[in-house]
Amino acid sequence: MSALTERGVLPTQRLGQFTALVVVNRPAVRGALVRRLHALGAREVFETTSIAQARTYAQLNGPGDLVIADSTVIDGSGVALVTELRRAGWSRAVVLGPSDDAAAVRTALAAGVHGFVVTQAERVAPRPLTGPVTIVTSNNSPATGPESLSDREIEVLCQVADGRSNRDVAESLGLSALTVKSHLARIARKLGTGDRAEMVVMALRAGLID
């Protein structure tokens, strides 16, 4: 939860003045989130495991400052709920989900969330998405991991995180589509995955993009 302030999910000038909605299945995680939000000075935190209750709260109280939701909750999609609340005027949103749920990552990023927090380890983890990233170098092998990305590669990933196609990225950065494709190929080699959503998640967790 310290990432809420470190990554700018909660503006520091609003600490002690914000309202929050927590829609999380797991009692221990939900309780920890609520306690942390109160410690940050939230004046009101509404917690639930139900999309129906979250919608009722939002309708009665109007747009709030922050919604934190599991990607899937007991009665539907937390990502869909976040998308709905963002359109209704909620300022900021964080989605919690497993690292292998690429579809949820894509949808959450398209919904304008301010963070996708991985809360479950990969079933098979040759490239960990939790914990610190270690970069190993030698004379025979290039550096790998998010921190090995160049400034230009990070710029490309920022565009990808906004849901842009290779052609859109090329136009935005003044590059050719072939150059963008080459950048993405190098990013894939460094991160160990060619899945665009996974690449974005890894960069987000490393703090390379917002």
pLDDT per residue over 114-164, tens digit each?
Answer: 667 766 543 433 344 344 433 333 344 456 778 888 888 888 888 888 888
Considering only CA atoms, which of 136, 109, 111 is closest in space to residue 195? 109
How sure is the predictor about 41, in pLDDT bands with cuts at 50, 70 and 90?
confident
Query: Taking the model in full, what pTM does it have?
Result: 0.51
d(CA 108, CA 82): 8
Phi and psi torsions of 166, nearest 5° = -60, -40
Cα angle 146-204-117, degrees, rounded to a multiple of 5: 125
Q: What is the mean pLDDT of residues 25-45?
A: 87
Phi and psi torsions of 101, nearest 5° = -95, 75
pLDDT reported for residue 101: 59
Name the β-bridge partners of 1. none
pLDDT at 8 over 60: no
pLDDT at 189 over 80: yes
Q: What is the mean pLDDT of residues 185-205?
A: 84
Cα angle 50-121-90, degrees, rounded to a multiple of 5: 35
To which residue do tokens 């503006």 refer? Answer: 11
- Got the DSSP string for 37-78? HHHTT-SEEEEES-HHHHHHHHHHH---SEEEEESEETTEEH
Domains in the chain, please, with CATH? 3-118 (3.40.50.2300), 146-205 (1.10.10.10)
Q: Tens digit of pLDDT for each residue in 59-101?
A: 998 899 899 998 888 888 888 898 889 889 988 888 887 755 5
**What average pLDDT does the chain have?**
76
pLDDT reported for residue 2: 43
Q: What is the mean pLDDT of residues 166-192?
A: 87
Q: What is the mean pLDDT of residues 177-204?
A: 85
pLDDT reported for residue 111: 63
- The helix-helix angle for 151-161 and 177-191 (nearest 10°) equals 100
Let me know: does 39 contact 15? Beta carbons within 8 Å: no
Q: Is the C-alpha dihedral spanning 83, 88, 93, 95 positive or negative? A: negative
Q: Which tokens go with 87?
A: 């359109």
pLDDT reported for residue 93: 86
How sure is the predictor about 104, in pLDDT bands with cuts at 50, 70 and 90?
low
d(CA 70, CA 21): 12
Cα 30 from chain centroid (whole Å): 18
